[in-house]
Amino acid sequence: MFDKNTAGEVAGHKLAAEKHAPDKLFLASSNCGKLREYRSLAETFSSPRRIALELLPEIDRLPAFAENAPTFAENAAGKALHYSRFAEGLVFADDSGLVVPALGKAPGVHSARYAGENASDADRVRKLLEELREKKGAARQGYFVCVIALARRGKILGVISDRAGGTILDAPRGEYGFGYDPVFFFPMLGKTFAEQSLSEKNQHSHRGKAFRKLCDFLSSLSPETRVI
C-alpha cells in the first residue's frame, strides 16, 4: 500500500511524463508521402512541444469520405470529422490545391483530378499550361491554398488555413516537389517550388505555413484535450 508521500511522488512522475510526452496526431490519409512531409514540418515547427504523427490505423478499411464539397475548408473539416469518429485521439485532415483567378479559380478543389482521375502530375501540369497558353502577365498569377482541420471524436476543434502566392511559368523548372510545383514560381526566392530545398519549402509553402499555425494552436489546447 502506498503512503501519501509515495502516492504524491507517483502522481508527480505521471504529470511530468505527460508534460514531456509528445502530442500524438493521426493524419486522416493513407498517403505515406504526405506523412513524411508533415513529419518534416513537425520537426521544424513543433518546438517547444513535440508532435508525433501517424497515419490513421487501417484507414483503407474504414468507410471512405467523399471529398466533393465546393471549398477546401468543407473538404478538410468533413474529412477530419468523419475519420475522428473511428479513432481515439486527435485527428487532422487537409485539403489543398492551386487557385488561378484567371481560370475562374481552377484547378481549385479539383487540383488532384484536374486532368482526370488517373492522370499523372505531368498530365495535370500539361493541362494547366494549355489553359494558360494565351494568358500573360497578371493573368498568370495564382496561389496555393492549404486548409487543415483538427477533430476529436466527431467534434471539430479548429480549422486553419494559409496560402502562398506566385506566378505560373510557361514551362516546368526543378526536380523536387510534386504536383504543380515545377511551374509555380515563388518571387520571394526567385525559384519554383520544385527548385527549393526542403527547408526553404517548409518555411514558405502553403502547407508549411498552415502546419505552423496548427502547432501554435495545439500548444494553446488544454492537456486534457491533447492527451489520448
User: Exactly one of 95, 121, 162, 216 is catalytic; which is it?
Assistant: 95
CB 141, CB 165: distance < 8 Å: yes
**Exposure of 13 by Cβ count < 10 A (0-12 exposed, 13-18 middle, 19+ buried)?**
exposed
CA of 62: how far to CAs of 65, 70, 107, 145, 217, in Å? Answer: 9, 23, 28, 27, 28
Cβ pair 149, 93 in contact under 8 A: yes
Q: Which of 113, 166, 120, 121 is nearest to 144 (CA)?
A: 166
Q: Is 170 a catalytic residue?
A: no
The residues, ordered by sequence, that sit 6+ positions from 97 with a Cβ below 8 Å of its Cβ are 72, 107, 108, 109, 110, 111, 112, 144, 145
Contact between 147 and 159 under an 8 Å Cβ cutoff? The reply is yes
Long-range CB pairs of 63-71 (<8 Å, 24+ gap) are 65/28, 67/95, 67/109, 69/109, 70/109, 71/109
Whether the CB-CB separation of 180 and 167 falls below 8 Å is answered with no
Rounded to 5 degrees, what are φ and ψ at 127? -65, -45
Catalytic residue numbers, as ranges: 95
